[in-house]
Amino acid sequence: MLCGPAGAGKTHIVRTVASEVGCSFISFSSCEIVSKWTNQPEQQMKDLFRKARDQKPAIILIDDLDTLCLLGTADLLKAFIEETQDMDGLHLVSATNKPWVLPPSILSCFIHKINITLPDESSRLALLKSLLDENVQISKEEMGEISKKTQGYSCADLVVLSREAAMQPIRALMNTIYFKKVCVQEKGNIDKTRECWVPCSEGDPDAVKMNAMDISDQLLQPSVSMQNFVEAMETMKSSVSQEELLKFNQWG
């Protein structure tokens, strides 16, 4: 059982492990199976395990296990427990944001309980680097500063933050009405150049008034800067509260 705040990367960990060890990966969301639009949820639970047995060795991921326990019927929970009695060739993993709401009968289905904590500073730095492409104007020192300032952010929070930072120069570009042509070097080819449009001031002697959408395929992709991250952090805060972290510490 993987326990941790939403967005900590629990599902990603299980999917990666399944790929590394060569197991089939079968998952389902508890939110879907307990939905009022789902017909015969008990049978769907049985079908899930049957599918896994047909593809074993397999890893089964039960996502949002707390939702299954809180909203699932007694018959659905009974079907789940019964299916876990025959696990030959199967590995059952669950992910939950609220392990403290799980009844003992469900907890006993899992041998190990593992806390997936929020990423530390070095992990945040590595994730941020992986999320950003080469088109950034952020120094090594600035990246370190961003990783420090994002303490308490989950992996999902960092993904959202990076997307917002990347969108800021694009939004600014879309609001620009004056552009000029410049010649830039092709990436990976020092002997080749290409013409493209870049934003400029109205007073620039080469300025041409036009709509960015009309030249979208000829625009020079804007770089992401440290300032973009600073502004993004003003609105994109951590989604994990201190109260939630305290609950995990007390439960563990």
Residues 246 and 190 in one domain: yes
| pLDDT at 82 > cutoff 70 | yes
- Among the listed residues 158, 108, 166, 231, the one whose alpha carbon sits nearest the alpha carbon of residue 5: 158
pLDDT of residue 118: 93
Residues 55 and 172 in one domain: no
CATH of the domain at 135: 1.10.8.60
Mean pLDDT of 33-50: 84
pLDDT over 70, % of the chain: 98
Domain boundary among the residues 57, 86, 115 is at 115
Domain boundary among the residues 98, 115, 132 is at 115
Total count of domains within the chain: 2
Residues 72 and 130 in one domain: no
Residues 34 and 78 in one domain: yes
Task: Give the CA dihedral 155, 226, 185, 198, nearest 10 degrees.
Answer: 110
Domain boundary among the residues 81, 115, 149 is at 115
Q: How far, in whole angstroms, is CA 64 from its chain's centroid?
A: 15
Residues 105 and 166 in one domain: no
Average pLDDT taken over every residue of the chain: 90
Task: Say how far apart CA 251 and CA 32 lie, in whole Å.
Answer: 27
Residues 166 and 216 in one domain: yes
Residue 97 structural domain: 2-115
The tokens describing 64, both together, are 């949002």
The tokens describing 181, both together, are 């042509």
pLDDT of residue 178: 94
Does the pTM exceed 0.85? no
Residues 41 and 80 in one domain: yes
Task: Say how far apart CA 11 and CA 13 lie, in whole Å.
Answer: 5
Residues 151 and 99 in one domain: no
The tokens describing 234, both together, are 């003003």
For 7-22, how does the pLDDT look when each residue is reduced to its tens digit (9 = 90+)?
Answer: 999 989 999 999 999 9
- The answer to whether 156 and 6 are in contact (CB under 8 A) is yes
For 101-137, how does the pLDDT look when each residue is reduced to its tens digit (9 = 90+)?
Answer: 999 999 999 999 999 999 999 999 999 999 987 778 8
CATH of the domain at 58: 3.40.50.300
For 205-230, how does the pLDDT look when each residue is reduced to its tens digit (9 = 90+)?
Answer: 999 999 998 888 888 888 899 999 99
Q: How far, in whole angstroms, is CA 103 from its chain's centroid?
A: 29
Residues 7 and 108 in one domain: yes
Mean pLDDT of 54-77: 91
pLDDT of residue 252: 66
The tokens describing 123, both together, are 């992990």
Residues 147 and 86 in one domain: no
| pLDDT at 189 > cutoff 80 | no
Residues 148 and 73 in one domain: no
Task: Say how far apart CA 220 and CA 223 lie, in whole Å.
Answer: 9
Residues 59 and 163 in one domain: no
pLDDT of residue 250: 83
- Among the listed residues 68, 84, 61, 67, the one whose alpha carbon sits nearest the alpha carbon of residue 15: 61
